[in-house]
Amino acid sequence: MRFRSTPRFEVLAGLILVLLALWAAIGVLLSDAGRHARETAGAAQRNVVRSLSEYEASSIRAIDISLRHLRDDWMRDARAFDESVARLEQYLAKERVIQVAVVDAEGWLLYSRLPQTGRPNFSDRKYFRILKEGGRDQLVISEPVFGRVTGQWAIQLTRPILRDGAFAGLIVVAVPPPALERVYSEIRLGPHGSVSLARVDGTVLAHAGDRPDEVLRALELPEGAAPAGELRVASPEGVDRIFSYRKLDDYPLAVFIGQDVGTMLAPYYRQRDVLAWGGALASMLLIALALALLARERERAKRIDERERLMLELHDGCIQSIYAIGLSLEQSRRMLAKDPARAARAIADAGANLNLVIQDLRSFISGEARAAHTEDEFIAEIQRMVPEPGAGVPAFTLDIDGDAVRQLTAEQAAHVLRIAREAISNVLRHAGARQARLTLARHGEEVRLEVVDDGGGVDGKPGGIGLGLPHIQARARKLRGRASIEGTPNRGTRVAVEFRAGA
């Protein structure tokens, strides 16, 4: 069966397509916005970590250069070392150095920038053992330790004092972690953000912001890690963080900056909400417009149905009946001289049929429902549709199955009678036939009405039999059935309607 598109279907299909296009566009925009937001946030975080790593590298380089100068001055003339320290005071203050000290090969304190009581020993310090056992010139940066002279936590940067290649002690400067953390605390990273300076083995030297265990574990870089990159860490409490890191040039340190994804993508989430609300509002407006169009289409369909009903009732009922009455009267006029009695009977039948037409018109105007036809009334009404054969009037054969009539509902019977009247009228007006047959019979659960003639035939196209075919098809649709018309030039026409009885 061929699918017929309806305006209601077209409105709903159009609404679905527009909504799909709208949300597809919103999806594309959100995807692009999300990607752009992640790229922008990642780039911003990488820029900050690069700036901090360059700052830290510059600061440590400056301290290391000062260490080298002070070491050279100590080895040249230890008695003038105070003057050397004073000479570098402004550089040391700039890098927040709080202590300069010299330790001998056994770990005993030889010089302290700060006053001290007693003579502490530092041979148990990890950095002391590394430098003494290493036997080479290197910079060692310790984790924060509690100073025995300063009395506070500090990061200690040390270099060995070598004489003729042998370890002769070390020189150390101390920088308190809070000094670095004050710099980090000025960077706004959100409630779960953090910034850290750590050794590549994960030892934290300075830190600001959120510091759960997951953050600390993220600071340990794997062997052979790239000079810069990103790490993603999800914590058990549901905070998803992205860390950007960058190693310091020439030093075994790295700067880490971490932010939770929600903070990084906050601008995107705001944009997403705006687009989502805008899409929802647009969708509601489109749905409201579609409902308005559907309501308008329903009203239009009602008007069309009503107009179709009027046309079907007037054309298939009254007009065809009046035409049949006129044809019967014309035959009566011709028979008056030859067979007055037969003419009189025909005129009487025409009068009776005219009264039936008047009753139909009254029922139509008043809107009264027609009474159901009995089997005899149904057959009698079809018989009244067929005029007596004569000049130009074919001989009709009626084959009506009473069982099929009994299966019809009142509404179906009315439609079948109108279809039969239309088909018979077309045979009388257009076919030029000598013989015609009307058959109504059951075929399983279906009823088939068929009108066949041996006339000139029609092409079956709309307009081939005036309004007949469209009206027959319209009534077939109302019966939830199907109509067909087959015509062959000079071999007659077959009109058939099939539908489910009692449906």
Contacts of 74 (CB under 8 A, 6+ apart): 81, 84, 102, 111, 161, 171
pLDDT of residue 322: 67
3-state helix, strand, coil in the chain (%, to 5): 50, 25, 25
Q: Note the pLDDT tens digit of each residue in 105-136.
A: 999 999 999 888 888 999 999 999 999 998 89
pLDDT of residue 250: 86
Asked whether 148 and 38 are in contact (CB, 8 A), the reply is no
pLDDT of residue 156: 92
What is the rounded CA–CA span in Å between residue 332 and residue 315? 24
pLDDT of residue 223: 77
The domains found in the chain, sorted by start residue, are 7-60+179-264 (3.30.450.20), 286-500 (3.30.565.10)
Given a cut of 90, is residue 167 above it in pLDDT? yes
Q: Note the pLDDT tens digit of each residue in 369-389.
A: 556 678 888 888 888 888 777
Residue 99: how many other CB atoms lie within 10 Å: 20
Which pTM does this prediction carry? 0.55
What is the rounded CA–CA span in Å between residue 93 and residue 316? 111
pLDDT of residue 48: 86
Retrieve residue 125's tokens. Answer: 């310090």
pLDDT of residue 461: 47
What's the distance, Cα to Cα, between the start and end of the chain in Å? 19
Nearest CA among 40, 57, 48, 54 for reference residue 187: 48
Average pLDDT over residues 298-309: 70
Given a cut of 60, is residue 163 above it in pLDDT? yes
pLDDT of residue 363: 59
